[in-house]
Every structure is written in structure tokens, then in C-alpha cells.
Structure 1
Amino acid sequence: MFAEYLLPILMVVFLFIGIFTGYPVAFILGGLAIIFALIGDVPLPFLGMMGSRIYGGVLENWLYIAIPLFVFMGLMLEKSGVASRLLLTLQRLFGRVRGGLAISVALLGVVMAASTGIVGASVVMLGLLALPVMLKQNYKPEMACGVIAASGTLGILIPPSIMLVLIGSIMQVSVGNLFKAALIPGLMLGVLYIAYLLIMGRLKPDWMPLADTDAVDHDKTPLALALTRDLVGPVFLMVTVLGSIMMGIATPTEAAAIGALGAIFLAVVARKLTYTTLRDVCYDTAKTTAMIIFIVITATAFSLIFKRLGGDYMILDLFDATGLGSYGLLLAIMVLIFILGFFLEWIEISYVILPILLPVIGLMDFGMSTQATLVWFAILMAINLQTSFLTPPFGYALFYLKGITNGQVKITTIYKSIIPYVLLQLTGLLLCIAFPAIVLWLPGLI
């Protein structure tokens, strides 16, 4: 078997070697595709077809228009000051609860996740807003950093999620169904975070001191009025975007356009829409979109060459040799994705690993329809991939947070801080595996 599948094995080996060199992943994927196409004597007509596949499957895919629109929406909300005002109001609401500021950060993470869907922007925003205040209130750094990093990653799962847009495109599954299926698991993770914070407030009160009353009540606006003022905008935007998708009124791309326009409107209301803000948001949107699309193009080329050299048959033979049943295979795949998340970003895993695993997924029998199985598996994979933002050594959320601490917190402290949240995410994943209705109830209802 080793000799028969030597080239696909070498492709995987050199992919990991290239990643550890620190070289840009997109160049590694594209370079390996070209090199192994030459080594494997792949016919030129196939390479021409690969170009057509990339153009027709990626560059002409209307669904990908949603990516820059969702990115624009998230960045505009970040610049508009909506999040900072909401955090201060939530802090007033929970100010007299031990760990109230940490709970406010978790709630803000849920609200902004449902409004943005961008992990980098969410973690940086939460870190800049909350970390100095939490450290000033004598929160233990492990507690402060953990809740900020974990809450920021909810944006990749709670819709509208760029990850779900890409996974839906790869698996040929309705993105609207994925958005419906991801909503309850995403909110469940937020509830698990808050429950953990409440428990730790009881067990380790010195880790999360009560806030100073004067610091919490510096805003003299009545609390009910402040909540209405600061919650209406984000919640209305969230309901408009998600509601239009779930009710079948708009496609994800059309809903993304509505969201982008709504974010501009909120910035106008907040009097934060200036030429400089608009320029910076457009520039960052272009950078983020270009990075994602470049990786998608090169990962598509890598996967096509890998399959051409027999990589998909290698994976099938490997899983057949295990003799595991459907649930055994599912758990093996989840463990594999979790381990890969230590080293690879979610985009590479989605576009390199998922196309290879699709034939294996098709062989599984869980007593449900094929479409339901695909939706369920996609959400399980999305929950699993969320942990890749938190697991060292390449957890991107950890480095986003480290970059804004100005040396106040060591990277080892940040690593320790995320352990409970990784365990909570794995708990959520196991619950969704054991009880598929958590994922499939809402798509079946609507």
C-alpha cells in the first residue's frame, strides 16, 4: 500500500513540512500542486481542466460574494462603536454579579458573533475593550484571556459564518440550512461558557472580583433605556440577516448585502461614518477577502492533484482497513480534524481535508437521510474547527490576543487560559454527536 500511494503520502508530508517553515500556506499548497503534477506526470489536458475548475468553481461562484460583504459588515460594526457601548451597558447589568464583567464579555461575543462572523476582528475588539478593564479590576490573567479568546471565536460558528459559507460550497449543501443548523449549537456553546463563569465565580471568587460600583455606574442613563439603545441596532441587524435567510426571503449573498448596508446605517446613526473609517474598512475587507480566496484557489489545486494521484482511494482504503463502524469512523475523523487544528488553519482543513473525506462520509449510515447526514457532519466539523483557533501552537485567536496585550500577559498564560474553553467546546461537540436533534431540529422546523 505504501508504494502504491507514495506520491499522495509525500504530498501530505511535504505539506506539513512547509507549514512548519512558516512560509505562506497558499504558496505551499499551490507550489506542491505544481511540483507533484510534474512528478506524477499528470497530463496537460487535466491541468487545463483544473484551471477551468478553479475559475468556474471558485472565481465564478456567486456564493463567495457573501464573503466580502460579511467581512465588511463585521468591520464596519467594529468601527462604529456599537460593541464598546454594549459592553459598558452589559457590565452595568451584571456589575453586581461575581464575574459579571467576564459574563458581559461572553454575551457580547455571542451578540457580535451573530452580527459579524469574523474571529480576528472579534478577538481584537473584545481584547482592546475588555482586557485592560478586567486586569484593572484584578481579574486573574488566565480567566480574563480565556473568556476573551473563546468568546471571540464564536463568530466562526454562529451565523452568519464565513466558514459555513465555504463548507456549504464544498459539500454542495444549502448554506441556509447550515445557518439554521449552527444557531442552536453556537448558542449552546455561549451558554456553556457563561455556566462555567458562574461556577468559577463561586469556586474561585478571587479570580473574578466584584466590580467597583462607581466604575460600573459611570453612565447615568437608566439601565433599561441604555439596554434598549445599545441592543436594538445589533439585534435588529442580526434578525434581519438571519431571518431573511432562514425564512427563504433572501439568499446568503443577498442577506450579506442587507447586513453590509445595515452596518453602514448603524455607523451613520452613531456618527462614526467618516471617509477615513470607510477607507479603512474597505481596505481591510479587500485584504481579508484576497487572503481567503487565494487560499481557496491553491487548496482546490492541491486537492485535485492529490485525488488525481490516488489520494482519495488511499483514504478510503485506510478507513476500510480500520474496520470501524459509522460512529467509529465519525469519531476517528473528528479526532483527526482536532489534531490537524493544532497545525492548520480552518480554511486549509476545509479545502484540503474535507474534499478527501467526502467519499468516506457518503459510506456512513446513521439512520437519517443523506442530506441530513451532510448537514449534521458539516456542523460537527465546524464546531471542531472552532477549536483550531484556540489550540496551540498555531491557535490564531491566541496570537491575536497576544498582539494587543503590550507585554502585560505571557503567551504561556494565554495558552493555559484556553484549556477550559477547549474542553467546553469538545463537550458541545460530543453533545451534538450524541444528540443529532440539537443540530437538525431547527432546519427541520423551518
Structure 2
Amino acid sequence: MSVEIMPPLMFAGLVVFLLMGFPVAFSLCAVGLGFGLFFIELGFFTPAYLGNLPPRVFGILSNDLLLAIPFFTLMGAILERCGLAEELLESTAQLFGKIPGGLAFAVVLVGALLGAVTGTVAASVLAMGVIALPIMLRYGYDQRLATGVVAASGTITQLIPPSLVLIVLSDQLGRSVGDMYAGAIGPALLQILLFLAFVAGVAIVAPHRVPALPPEALMARGWPLYLRVLRGMVPPLLLLFLVLGTILMGLATPTEAGAMGTAGAVALAILNGRFSWKLLREAMGNAMRITAMVIYILIGATVFSLVFQGVDGSHWVEGLLANLPGGQIGFLLFVNAFIFVLGFFLDFFEIAFIVVPLLAPVATKLDIDLVWFGVLLCINLQSSFMTPPFGFALFYIRSIAPKFVSTQAIYRGAIPWICLQLLLVAIVMIWPEAVTFLIQGGTGVDPASVTIDVPPPAPPSDDDAMPIFR
């Protein structure tokens, strides 16, 4: 049997396991170990080759960068329960409530700010949905637009720093988290502007779908209202500076910034009078579950990739993608279409750990800047939370929406926002300076013109275990 057919056969085996509904982490381990033993029997490599696996697993468990994930998750879980969203949304809704679409404007802005300090889509969508969705429906908002704007405002969390997706992508692509965060700021602001522009367009064309709040529901304009808005926004902005500012200025690593953010979240919970040991236990349990899921998937992906590279799988993928028609543009179009389709069935952790390590060497060979490439993938991965049948943001909305809101309305309401996310992908491909201006001092260097001298990874030898993270 020829070694050339081993990589596609192994990849097809993984697809079969996933389609059968087995957990991703265990599917990766089963396919990797099963094919590894099969390849040993065929003589493609010796049993000593699998001795590279323990150092890889130990490298995952001792990776300092991955410590940022439990810290940011714990910070988000605490903020989700401390009443921050209620104060923010209520004051901002009062500020914009007198104009058509005002509630939707408030949801987008507060969702972005809440996503910046919580870092998790679930926290943002559930908090915004519980607070804002009943009010929007009560005052006559169209069901599809109301559910869509709540779900979409939560998915901004995927892109806006400090995002867990960017941490994972920086680890898999071997690039600085600070550069990833700096590169994502421009696209995140563009995403917010696109969402606000869409709401404004609906308010102009069909104001009956996004009516203004009635006068009896509005507070009087003046300094009391403005001070209330400031009181709601200043604490999370200070926390955002504590986390993101220290990373971008090089004063703290992502792990250290996450630890400071967690301490700041506890302080905010105490100031809001919401802190309790029960809250802390629930938040720690949530952080533990998410972190364990990430580590298990990463270990499974490591088992799979070790055996996959042992039969020259990385060269197979490189040959398959590097020779696509259209060069860099053809590769980027194919990858974004492929990632978008995968988002219907897999979540972003699974895509980042399984697919991105296979794409990075090809992108490097095509002289594509990996920071720009990572941010582009992050924008695309937003849609995985909005696309049926496994869009988690849609599940969250369904779990909290009133019974008279149909599932069909929720799914149809997501379509315009998915299109806006894909529009941002196109904008960043056409205008790369949206990512690079903060990293490269505004020089507008096209990522396609940046050459990164990183040799493609080679399969590990028996004497020299290949490093886990490239």
C-alpha cells in the first residue's frame, strides 16, 4: 500500500468519526492512535516514533500561554453574574431609546463592550438576551431583527480583544498574542460600525420594525442620565485597559493580564454588591469545564497531527493547497469558504486545533503574513456561532426567547448578520491595512508582500522530538 494515500485516508477516517457524533477530542485520539498502530504494522514508521507523544502532551500542560484561557474564562463568568450588563444596557437604552432602532444600537454597543471584558460568547449572548430581548419584543421590535441583533452582538466577542479565539490562534500560528490583539482592533471596530449601519438602514427604510421607546418609558434628558451612563461604562473600560492595555504596552503577558482581569472582575462584583462565595464557585466551575474541554481537544489534535505528519500529511496538504489556481487569492478564497462550511458543524476550538495547523505552513510558503491570516480566520470563525444547525448563539437565544418566538424566526434573523460578517472578511482581504496599521505603524504593508522566514515543520525523528507549537 502506497504512503501517498495514507494522509487522505486518515483525514477521511476523522470525518467519519465526527459525522457519527463521537466527541471531537476522543475521535482525534482514536483516529490518531488507531492509524498509528496500523502504519506501524505496514512499516511506515517504527513504534519508537510514537515516543514523541509524551513530550508533546507535557508541552501542552506546561504551556504558559494556555494559562490565559482559564483566567479570561473565569473573569467572564464572574462579570456575567455581577450585574454589569444590566446597568450598562439600561442606561445606554435610555440614551438611544428616543430614536427608531435605539434599543438595537444599545444592544450592539453594550454587546461589544461586554464582549471586550468577558471574552466569552455565551456570557454576552445570554446576558444581553435575558435583559434586552423581552424589552425589545414588548415595545414592538420585529422578532427576527431582535433575536438576530442579540446573537450578533454576542459574537463580536470572538473578534474583539481580549478574545479567547485570538489566544488560541496565536498559539497555533506561533505569533505574539499582543500582535494578534493589535491587529484585531481595526476589524472589530469595523464590525461594530457595520452592525450599527445595518440597524440605521432598517430604521430609515422600515422604522416600524425597530420602533422608538414610548415617552413614558424614557427618563428625562440631562446630567443624571449622562452620569448614569458614565457610571455604567467607566468600570468596564478601566478593566479593559487593565487587561488589554497592559498586553499591548508590553507590561504584562496574556496570562498575567488575565489574572489581573480576574482580580478586577472580583472587585467589580464586590462594588456592585453581587459577590458571594456561591458566585465564585459557579464561575470557577464554568472556567474549569471550558478549560478541560480545550485541553482535551488540544491533546487529541496533537495525537492526530503527530501520526498525520509521520506519513507526510503536512506535505500532502501543502501540495493540495499551494497549487490551487489563483495563487494567494485562490488559497485565501478556498480557505475562507472551507472554514465557513466547517463552522456549520464544528466550533471554533475544534477548527483552530485541527485545521489551522495544517494551513499555517501553506500560508507561510505563499508569503502571507500569519498575524493578518489569523485575524482573517478569526473574523470568519464568528459565523460558526450563527450558522445552523450547530450555531451556539442560536441555541442560547432559543433557550431564553419566549415561546411565541419561533425557531424559524431565530434562524432567519441570523442571515443578515452572517452576511455582514462575511462582508467584513471581504473588506479585510481587500484592505489589509485594517489589520496591519497598528502593528506596522500605519505603513499599509500588504500582508501578501511580507516574507516570514519560517521553515515548514518536519516530522520528528526518534532522537529529537518535534516541538508542539510552531
When the two structures are superposed, what TM-score results if normalisation uses the length of structure 1?
A: 0.94
Deviation at 1:402, TM superposition (A): 1.3
Question: Aligned residue for 2:458?
Answer: none
Which range moves more in the overlay, 241-250 or 205-214?
205-214
Question: Aligned residue for 2:407?
Answer: 411
Question: Aligned residue for 2:379?
Answer: 383
Separation in 2, partners of 1:245, 1:394: 33
- Amino acid of the structure 1 residue aligned with 2:134: P
SS at match of 1:222: helix
1:9-408 counterparts in 2 under 5 A? 9-41=8-40, 42-56=45-59, 58-217=60-219, 222-365=224-367, 373-408=369-404
Contact 2:7–2:308 (Cα < 8 Å) also in 1: yes
Question: Aligned residue for 1:6?
Answer: 5
Residues 148 and 228 of structure 1: CA distance in aligned 2, closer, same or farther (over 3 Å): same
Deviation at 1:365, TM superposition (A): 3.2
- Amino acid of the structure 2 residue aligned with 1:115: V
Separation in 2, partners of 1:174, 1:210: 44
Contact 2:170–2:177 (Cα < 8 Å) also in 1: yes
Separation in 1, partners of 2:399, 2:311: 41
Deviation at 1:321, TM superposition (A): 4.2
CA-based RMSD: 1.9
Separation in 2, partners of 1:117, 1:361: 27
Separation in 1, partners of 2:198, 2:417: 9
Question: Aligned residue for 2:454?
Answer: none
Deviation at 1:182, TM superposition (A): 0.5
Separation in 2, partners of 1:133, 1:220: 23
Deviation at 1:3, TM superposition (A): 6.0
Contact 2:322–2:331 (Cα < 8 Å) also in 1: no
What are the ranges of 5 or more consecutive residues in structure 2 without an aligned counterpart? 443-470
SS at match of 1:442: coil
Question: Aligned residue for 2:459?
Answer: none
- Amino acid of the structure 2 residue aligned with 1:423: C
Which range moves more in the overlay, 318-327 or 167-176?
318-327
Contact 1:126–1:148 (Cα < 8 Å) also in 2: yes
Separation in 2, partners of 1:231, 1:323: 49
Separation in 1, partners of 2:189, 2:322: 36
- Amino acid of the structure 1 residue aligned with 2:138: K
Deviation at 1:309, TM superposition (A): 2.5
Contact 2:133–2:146 (Cα < 8 Å) also in 1: yes
Residues 152 and 218 of structure 1: CA distance in aligned 2, closer, same or farther (over 3 Å): farther
- Amino acid of the structure 1 residue aligned with 2:249: M
Which range moves more in the overlay, 255-264 or 331-340?
331-340
Q: Say whether residues 1:428 and 2:424 are aligned partners.
A: yes
SS at match of 1:443: coil
Separation in 1, partners of 2:402, 2:91: 26
Separation in 1, partners of 2:11, 2:402: 37
Which range moves more in the overlay, 264-273 or 28-37?
28-37
Deviation at 1:214, TM superposition (A): 2.3
Residues 5 and 84 of structure 1: CA distance in aligned 2, closer, same or farther (over 3 Å): farther
- Amino acid of the structure 1 residue aligned with 2:238: F
Separation in 2, partners of 1:433, 1:316: 21
What are the ranges of 5 or more consecutive residues in structure 1 without an aligned counterpart? 367-372
SS at match of 1:61: coil
Deviation at 1:408, TM superposition (A): 3.3
Separation in 2, partners of 1:407, 1:299: 40
When the two structures are superposed, what TM-score results if normalisation uses the length of structure 2?
A: 0.89
Contact 2:141–2:209 (Cα < 8 Å) also in 1: yes
| CA offsets 1:14-47 (integer angstroms, 9 cap, x no match) | 3333323333221111211121112222532222
- Amino acid of the structure 2 residue aligned with 1:382: C
Which range moves more in the overlay, 320-329 or 277-286?
320-329
| CA offsets 1:274-296 (integer angstroms, 9 cap, x no match) | 11111111111111111111111
Deviation at 1:115, TM superposition (A): 0.6
Deviation at 1:320, TM superposition (A): 4.2
Q: How many residues align?
A: 438
